Amino acid sequence: KQEVTQIPAALSVPEGENLVLNCSFTDSAIYNLQWFRQDPGKGLTSLLLIQSSQREQTSGRLNASLDKSSGRSTLYIAASQPGDSATYLCAVRDSGNTPLVFGKGTRLSVIA
Amino acid sequence: DAGVIQSPRHEVTEMGQEVTLRCKPISGHNSLFWYRQTMMRGLELLIYFNNNVPIDDSGMPEDRFSAKMPNASFSTLKIQPSEPRDSAVYFCASSMGRRNYGYTFGSGTRLTVV
């Protein structure tokens, strides 16, 4: 059974700092991996999707990498801003028709 | 596209009452998922459908919970009777079975059972 772990559970950084959020999964035979952002009291917004054949995806200040063999993904946020404060969730999908399995998230606070 | 649409956004009900949550997936998506989110347990999958057929309902906590997908554009999650421990945010998501395609989530229904 796939399990997803995110470390750290919470992170507080000063504005402008570059940071890395970590995600690990137990079964490396994944279909794809998705990073989401969730603001307090809101829904989930998709940030980046990495297919199993890809190594990384980039969107603006965000870069997500995938190392299937080691069962790891990282989300890199460059030049963090207070508006980046949110919970970041990592989720993996084992096949085309199976559901995403989520980690418990990393709660990020960027201090001005 | 308007995205995944859930209703109502908020629901407050008394213990013992029936609650029905609704979801309209994105047109063309063939998979629909119901999740529940609480502080203690995070996001839990309740049930999912492929091509309107329920595939796995092992996450449904009790027989009080039921879900239907009568057609490709509509699904309901029903709780009868509701209990205070059912209080949570319920999310619906839809997707297509393609490697380059992720999930799109609705805004959720915040359920409070008093």
Cβ(B38)–Cβ(A104) below 8 Å:
no
pLDDT of the residue at A95? 80
Is A82 a residue whose pLDDT tops 90? yes
Which residue does chain B place closest to A87, by CA atoms?
A: B42
Which residue does chain A place closest to B94, by CA atoms?
A: A99
Residues of A whose CB is below 8 A from B31: 97
Pairing status of strand A106-111 against strand A86-93: antiparallel
Is B1 a residue whose pLDDT tops 70? no
- B17 vs B19: CA distance, rounded Å: 6
pLDDT tens figures, B29-79: 999 999 999 988 889 999 999 999 999 999 998 899 999 999 999 999 999
pLDDT of the residue at A96? 72
Cβ–Cβ below 8 Å for A46 and B100? no
pLDDT tens figures, A13-25: 999 999 999 999 9
Percentage of chain B exceeding pLDDT 70: 99
The CA-CA-CA angle for residues B44, A56, A108, to 5°, reads: 50
